[in-house]
């Protein structure tokens, strides 16, 4: 292995490849900030450039840089304007945006950058050490286990429900899953719940719903109550990047735990950064002390560090099945698989033997990508955070424009814009009544995967007997129930 | 009735409509061979209907959020006159108008008009600054999306470009 690492180091540290990783990170960060353009679209756009480069190692290093950059860029828009452009950064907004509103945008971006860096680094070390062995673990998961994993993900809504809001959070999750059933699914050839509207056949776009649930209601609240904008104010310096000793002490164990948990979740094909970030947030909230739990959702540093670490670690984890088995673990790695094949590299168990230069160079470049991101972004954070100092009369129109652009680029039709406004108004009313909106989005994101895996599991076992016949499935479903019931009982008793 | 219960009632109506579609409409549209499948297009929707109706009833019957009265809401609707509802309604109408104008007017004109109009609604009156910031912002985004990334956004009205 040492020989492979050294080969990878010499390849990744060549001048050309260093340039590739820097360029990838810059492109990814800036384009990733635009809602609607997640890592998947950016990597897809960059594939022709990668193929033109010709050298598989250099091309993959560029794409890996773009991948990490886009994830960090998505976190930036989540934190600054509550507009998560990709599903993996939705949980970042839960505490990142409240921190920005308290005048701690610089600090929030620094915590995001540092957590991402450490999460990515630990995950890269895990990847180097255990990739071949872990790939066989990923294969133990079948559709029944994936279905149970999705249910665990959905039950994590208990983490987002404040006191007395468990039923509301559960209802919002179910409404989210219901929305995911709109349109034509890959399973069935007939459209469902489209009311004969042609543009709904492909379903509701994720970006549209994310913008409608987060960015648009926030913009409306800023319009309704101008004093909300003033809270972002200058009482605390928004450019201040410093993390206090107490904060560092609080987030250190969170980062450690979530690096490992995120990596393990990311490694399982189909789970990916989104589930990792939600579960990371849920786990950290549930194990926090009651006093710290109250801070979650209001600008908790732990609540920000958890999803940021987990999603970056999961991104690295998702390379395990790709590089060792040739199985893409997510949409993004599926596109990377396409790029690998186009570059005449066949990922799979023999990649490490046949092309050690490519295998190790990609792994080393992941670490370099994380390092470059940190070096590039820390000095930029004061300038990025200053976006919040733009006068309200200009900031709000641009936030509204970005929400519209996100929805439009995602689906390329005007109906999506009308849907955005309608859902945005509904979300604002739900916020008036204190219904949590995050569970709805989580239900929507996981709903499609839940139905696909449920259908496969039911078909394979000719019924629902898989629930009690497969111990891992049963154990996970029990965990899911406990995740909802235990915090509820704890609140009732206290 | 409290707003959260009213919303639960609306969701109950939505769930019943969703359930009707799942249990009746989709069921009726199934082809004969599909009826023998283990998993049908309405299998999950049926489960979702039952759970959502149960949850709506729970929220309607039990006042779970007992602390709600003591909590200070983000927007206190009892003092609705203190908030800028008119501006919010105008901005939302502007977004709807933007959706309808995007194709006939093209991206550049409709976006500049939308941003300038929104700033005007919010009380901005420095026309030169509004036009400059809207023009530069719109131009940069168009260049990035269309020219750099290759995602088509028709810049000018159809009658000019001929499309």
Q: What is the pLDDT of residues B79-119, one digit of tens each?
A: 778 888 999 999 999 999 999 998 889 899 999 999 999 99
Q: Kindly tell me the sign of the dihedral angle through the C-alpha atoms of A472, A476, A477, A478.
A: positive
Distance CA A332, CA A120 (A): 17
Structural tokens at position A201: 């056949």
Do you know the residue count of chain A? 494
Across chain B, what does the average pLDDT equal?
86
What is the domain extent for residue B35?
3-67
Question: For residue A303, what pLDDT is reported?
Answer: 92
**What mean pLDDT comes out for the span B121-146?**
90
| Backbone dihedral angles phi then psi of residue A197, each to the nearest 5 degrees | -90, 115
| Backbone dihedral angles phi then psi of residue A329, each to the nearest 5 degrees | -85, -15
- Is B130 within a domain? yes
Distance CA A456, CA A464 (A): 11
Nearest CA in chain B to A163: B65
Distance CA B119, CA B130 (A): 7
* Residue whose token pair is 């839940």: A450
pLDDT per residue over A114-145, tens digit each? Answer: 998 899 889 888 887 777 676 666 667 788 88
Distance CA A154, CA A160 (A): 11
B94 and B56 share one domain: no
- Mutation site, A397, A414, A464, A467, interface B, largest B CB count within 10 A: A397
Structural tokens at position B8: 């639960």
How far does Cα B142 stand from its chain's mean position?
Answer: 23
Structural tokens at position A410: 């995602």
Nearest alpha carbon to residue A307 among A88, A72, A37: A88
Contact B142, B153 (CB under 8 A): yes
Distance CA A269, CA A284 (A): 23
Is the pLDDT at B39 greater than 90? The verdict is no
Question: For residue A328, what pLDDT is reported?
Answer: 66
Q: Give B33: exposed, middle or buried? Use CB within 10 Å, 0-12, 13-18, 19+.
A: exposed
B63 and B19 share one domain: yes
Is the pLDDT at B20 greater than 60? The verdict is yes
Q: What Rg, from alpha-carbon coordinates, does chain B have?
A: 25
- The proportion of chain A whose per-residue pLDDT surpasses 70, expressed as a percent, equals 87
pLDDT per residue over A213-239, tens digit each? Answer: 888 888 898 888 877 655 444 444 556
Is the pLDDT at A405 greater than 50? The verdict is yes
Q: Kindly tell me the sign of the dihedral angle through the C-alpha atoms of B140, B141, B144, B150.
A: negative
Q: Which 3 state secondary structure label does DSSP give A346?
A: coil
Is the pLDDT at A258 greater than 90? The verdict is yes
Chain B closest CA to A340's CA: distance in Å?
21
- Which DSSP letter does residue A244 get? P
Question: For residue A176, what pLDDT is reported?
Answer: 92
Is the pLDDT at B61 greater than 80? The verdict is yes
pTM more than 0.80: no
- Is B33 within a domain? yes
Contact A299, A95 (CB under 8 A): yes
Helices (H), chain B: 3-20, 27-29, 43-61, 85-105, 107-121, 127-142, 158-161
Distance CA A138, CA A19 (A): 34
Between B3, B14, B41, which is nearest A192 by CB? B41
B108 and B137 share one domain: yes
| Backbone dihedral angles phi then psi of residue A296, each to the nearest 5 degrees | -60, 130
Between A177, A405, A430, which is nearest B141 by CB? A405
- Is B80 within a domain? no
Residues 6+ apart with CB under 8 A from B102: A408, A414, A417, B110
Q: Which of A59-68, A161-170, B129-138 has the highest mean pLDDT?
A: B129-138
| Backbone dihedral angles phi then psi of residue A183, each to the nearest 5 degrees | 100, -175
Is the pLDDT at A338 greater than 80? The verdict is no
B56 and B116 share one domain: no
Number of structural domains chain B divides into: 2
B90 and B145 share one domain: yes
Distance CA A494, CA A491 (A): 5
Cβ neighbours of B119 in A, within 8 Å: 393-394, 397
Residues 6+ apart with CB under 8 A from A327: A138, A269, A321
| Backbone dihedral angles phi then psi of residue B75, each to the nearest 5 degrees | -125, 120
Nearest alpha carbon to residue A438 among A112, A210, A100: A210
Distance CA A33, CA A75 (A): 8
Structural tokens at position A441: 């989005």
Distance CA B148, CA B156 (A): 18
Chain B closest CA to A165's CA: distance in Å?
6
Distance CA A134, CA A253 (A): 24
Is the pLDDT at A481 greater than 80? The verdict is yes
- Which DSSP letter does residue A386 get? G
Cβ neighbours of A168 in B, within 8 Å: 4, 59, 64-65
Establish, for the pair of chains A and B, how many residue pairs have beta carbons separated by less than 8 Å.
Answer: 177
Residue finishing a domain among B18, B37, B67: B67
* A49 contacts chain B (CB < 8 A): no
Alpha carbons within 13 A on the beta-carbon side of A207: 25
Distance CA A144, CA A151 (A): 11
B96 and B47 share one domain: no
B92 and B157 share one domain: yes
- Is B126 within a domain? yes
B62 and B90 share one domain: no
B90 and B156 share one domain: yes
Distance CA A29, CA A33 (A): 6
- Is B74 within a domain? no
Question: For residue B63, what pLDDT is reported?
Answer: 64
pLDDT per residue over A43-88, tens digit each? Answer: 776 777 777 777 888 888 888 888 888 888 888 888 888 877 677 7
**What mean pLDDT comes out for the span A236-253?**
80
Q: Chain A window 352-391: which residues touch B at a Cβ cutoff of 8 Å?
A: none
Is the pLDDT at A162 greater than 70? The verdict is no
- Is B72 within a domain? no
Between B42, B59, B84, which is nearest A223 by CB? B84
pLDDT per residue over A10-48, tens digit each? Answer: 877 888 888 888 888 888 887 777 766 667 767 776 777
Yes or no, beta carbons of A397 and B8 under 8 Å apart: no
Distance CA A281, CA A261 (A): 11
Q: Which of A165-169, A266-270, A346-350, B112-116 has the highest mean pLDDT?
A: B112-116
Is the pLDDT at B76 greater than 90? The verdict is no
Question: For residue B19, what pLDDT is reported?
Answer: 94
- Is B27 within a domain? yes
Do you know the residue count of chain B? 163
Write the DSSP assignment of A373-384 as a string of letters: HHHHHHHHHHHH
Yes or no, beta carbons of A190 and B41 under 8 Å apart: yes
- Is B30 within a domain? yes
Question: For residue A230, what pLDDT is reported?
Answer: 53
Biggest CA–CA distance in chain B, Å, is 68
Yes or no, beta carbons of A171 and B11 under 8 Å apart: yes
B107 and B134 share one domain: yes
Write the DSSP assignment of A67-106 as a string of letters: HHHHHHHHHHHHHHHS---SGGGHHHHHHHHHHHHTT-HH
B92 and B62 share one domain: no
Question: For residue A80, what pLDDT is reported?
Answer: 84
Structural tokens at position A359: 């295998």
- This complex has an ipTM of 0.90
Helix A2-12 crosses helix A356-385 at what angle (to 10 degrees)? 50
Question: For residue A235, what pLDDT is reported?
Answer: 47
- Mutation site, A164, A190, A223, interface B, largest B CB count within 10 A: A223
């Amino acid at each position: 292995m040492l020989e492979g690492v050294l080969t990878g180091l010499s390849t990744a540290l060549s001048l050309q490849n260093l340039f590739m990783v820097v360029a990838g990170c810059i492109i990814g960060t800036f384009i990733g900030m635009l809602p609607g353009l997640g890592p998947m679209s950016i990597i897809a756009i960059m594939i022709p450039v990668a193929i033109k480069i010709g050298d598989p190692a250099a091309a993959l290093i560029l794409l890996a840089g773009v991948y990490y950059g886009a994830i960090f860029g998505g976190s930036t828009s989540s934190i600054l304007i509550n507009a998560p452009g990709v599903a993996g950064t939705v949980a970042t907004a839960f505490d990142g945006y409240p921190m920005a509103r308290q005048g701690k945008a610089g600090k929030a971006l620094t915590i995001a950058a540092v957590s991402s860096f450490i999460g990515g680094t630990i995950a890269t070390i895990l990847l180097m050490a255990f990739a071949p062995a872990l790939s066989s673990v990923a294969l133990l998961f079948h559709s029944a286990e994936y279905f149970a994993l999705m249910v665990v993900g959905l039950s994590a809504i208990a983490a987002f429900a404040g006191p007395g809001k468990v039923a509301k959070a559960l209802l919002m999750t179910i409404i989210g899953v219901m929305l995911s059933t709109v349109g034509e699914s890959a399973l069935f050839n007939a459209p469902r719940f489209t009311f004969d509207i042609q543009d709904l056949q492909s379903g509701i776009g994720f970006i549209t719903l994310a913008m409608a649930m987060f960015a648009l209601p926030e913009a409306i609240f800023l319009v309704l109550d101008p004093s909300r904008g003033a809270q972002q104010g200058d009482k605390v310096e928004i450019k201040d990047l410093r993390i206090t000793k107490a904060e560092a002490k609080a987030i250190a164990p969170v980062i450690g735990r979530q690096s490992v948990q995120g990596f393990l979740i990311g490694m399982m094909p189909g789970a990916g950064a989104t589930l990792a970030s939600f579960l990371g947030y849920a786990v950290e909230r549930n194990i926090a002390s009651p006093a710290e739990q109250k801070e979650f959702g209001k600008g908790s540093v732990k609540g920000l560090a958890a999803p940021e670490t987990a999603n970056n670690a999961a991104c690295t984890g998702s390379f395990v099945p790709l590089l060792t088995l040739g199985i893409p673990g997510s949409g993004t790695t599926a596109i990377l698989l396409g790029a690998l094949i186009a570059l005449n590299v066949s990922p799979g168990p023999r990649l490490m033997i046949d092309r050690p230069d490519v295998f190790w160079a990609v792994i080393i470049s992941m670490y370099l990508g994380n390092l470059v991101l940190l070096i590039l972004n820390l000095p930029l954070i004061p300038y990025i955070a200053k976006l919040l100092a733009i006068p309200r009369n200009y900031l709000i129109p641009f936030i509204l424009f970005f929400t519209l652009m996100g929805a439009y680029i995602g689906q390329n039709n005007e109906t999506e814009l009308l849907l955005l406004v309608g859902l945005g108004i509904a979300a604002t009313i739900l916020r008036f009544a204190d219904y949590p909106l995050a569970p709805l989005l989580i239900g929507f994101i996981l709903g499609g995967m839940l139905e696909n895996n449920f259908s496969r599991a039911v078909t394979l076992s000719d019924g629902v007997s898989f629930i009690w016949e497969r111990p891992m499935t049963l154990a996970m479903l029990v965990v899911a129930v406990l995740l909802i019931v235990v915090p509820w009982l704890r609140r009732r008793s206290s | 009735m409290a707003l959260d219960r009213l919303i639960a009632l609306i969701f109950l109506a939505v769930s019943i409509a969703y359930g009707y579609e799942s249990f009746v409409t989709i069921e009726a549209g199934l082809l004969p061979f599909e009826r023998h499948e283990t998993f049908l297009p309405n299998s999950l929707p049926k489960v979702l209907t039952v759970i959502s109706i149960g949850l709506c009833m729970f929220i309607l019957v039990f006042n779970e959020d007992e602390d709600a009265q003591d909590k200070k809401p983000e927007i206190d609707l009892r003092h609705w006159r203190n908030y800028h509802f008119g501006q919010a309604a105008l901005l939302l109408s502007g977004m709807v108008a933007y959706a309808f104008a995007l194709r006939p007017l093209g991206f550049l004109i409709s976006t500049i008009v939308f941003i300038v109009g929104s700033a005007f609604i919010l009380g901005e009156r420095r026309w030169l600054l509004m036009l400059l910031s809207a023009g530069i912002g719109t131009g940069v985004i168009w260049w990035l999306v269309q020219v750099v990334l290759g995602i088509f956004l028709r810049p000018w009205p159809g009658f000019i470009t001929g499309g």
